[in-house]
Structure 1
Amino acid sequence: MSFQYDQYLTQHRSNVKRGFDWIAENLPELLVDGFDYGWQIEFAHDKSKDEQDEYEAYDAYFYGGNRSYAVMQNYQKAWLLHLHRNPHHWQYWILINDDPKEGEIILEMPYNYIIEMICDWWAFSWQKGKLDEIFGWYDEHCKYMKLHPKTRKTIEDILEKMKTKLDEIKEKNELQN
């Protein structure tokens, strides 16, 4: 086990929770339907990364100092496992059918996983202390993402509300200084 990777996991999960807590405090209207988002964020987020088949491959890839073919292959398999185990990733919701006539179907994401996904993305902005960085990141990546139209609209509505609230807070802080 790698101390560095353990630190990363702890910090990432903490930043996901910070993002969720910010939403709960500043935009509580986004957390509707009586779902226990807090439990999902705090206790279930990325728990599969603790599984040996993910942990060891991630640790070797990011902290092992070796990007050999075998390390790359193991990481790619672990990433695929992670995507299939964690419904807060948009890739989880792509159904690739055997029948070419059915093709690929993009399923709608449940709302609770959309919230978790946004907090997951936002964790990297929290890490850098640049909370508005998520918006540029989304703009750069959104065209690549295969999202159900309703899921995309929900994501963009939530991000717009977050941006508006962050701008309000920034403006208020500037007026006070």
Structure 2
Amino acid sequence: MKLINHLKTINKHKYYVTMLCFKCGLYKQGLLHDLSKYSPTELKTGAKYWVGTRSPNSIERETIGYSTAWLHHKGRNKHHWEYWVDFSREGVVPAKMPTRYVVEMFCDRVAATMVYRGENFDVSAPLDYYNKTHGYYVIHQETDAMIKDMLVHLSKSNLEETIDYIKETYL
């Protein structure tokens, strides 16, 4: 039953992201978003740790110290800032994300908040989560400014106005 519930959760998330990406004109990214979640590596973790109110990857990380599903996921999905982190002799180096992936990251964050918060969703929630978790990000300065600008705009307006703003300002 957990597998079925997990599939419902990821399907709902994927639907929201697809609709948001389509509104931004990112049709291909909307269709291809998070397909790796249906792979055995990610699906197994999702089914095992599903609770419906937060990511199974977080629960796996708390349980065993890391998340096999997340390691798989972030290496295949360019809308995650972690995909764009490299290592060099100078240390950990964040690369600047292409704008279309930053916009997809915005859509992903909004959709995740919509799924996990349900009726309690409000436009400031994605920014609140971003601010709460930002302390450990290794994200390029320009990428960080761009995603934060989008989330701040959302927190001060609504989704439709923010999508219009993103299209006018970034796409």
CA positional deviation for 1:57 = 2.4
CA positional deviation for 1:56 = 1.5
Alignment equivalent of 1:78, drawn from 46, 69, 79: 69
Q: What corresponds to 1:59 in structure 2?
A: 47
Instruction: Give the alignment's TM-score, normalised by structure 2.
Output: 0.73
What is the percentage of aligned positions where both structures have the same residue?
A: 27
Greater RCO (Cα-Cα under 8 Å, separation 6 or more) = 1
CA positional deviation for 1:74 = 10
Deviations, residues 74-109 of structure 1 (Å, cap 9, x unaligned): 971221011111111111111023xxx331111111
Q: What corresponds to 2:8 in structure 1?
A: 7
Contact 1:54-1:82 at 8 Å conserved across structures: yes
Higher CA-based Rg: 1
Contact 1:95-1:107 at 8 Å conserved across structures: yes
1:80-159 maps to which residues of 2 (within 5 A)?
80-97=71-88, 101-127=89-115, 128-129=118-119, 130-132=121-123, 133-159=125-151
Q: Secondary structure at the match of 2:86?
A: strand
Q: What corresponds to 1:39 in structure 2?
A: 28
Q: What corresponds to 1:17 in structure 2?
A: 18
Contact 1:57-1:74 at 8 Å conserved across structures: no
Instruction: Give the alignment's TM-score, normalised by structure 1.
Output: 0.71
Q: Residues of 2 paired with 1:19 and 1:144: CA distance?
A: 27
Aligned residues: 147
Residue identity in the other structure for 1:40:
Q
Q: Secondary structure at the match of 1:142?
A: helix
Q: Secondary structure at the match of 2:127?
A: helix
Consecutive aligned runs of 4 or more in structure 1 exceeding 4 Å deviation:
72-75
Q: Residues 110 and 46 from structure 1, CA distance in 2 versus in 1: closer, same or farther, beyond 3 angstroms?
A: same
Contact 2:21-2:29 at 8 Å conserved across structures: no
Aligned Cα root-mean-square deviation (Å): 2.8
Q: Which runs of 5+ in 1 are unaligned?
A: 25-30, 64-68, 170-177
Contact 1:49-1:82 at 8 Å conserved across structures: yes
Q: Residues of 1 paired with 2:159 and 2:8: CA distance?
A: 31
Q: Which runs of 5+ in 2 are unaligned?
A: 52-59, 162-171
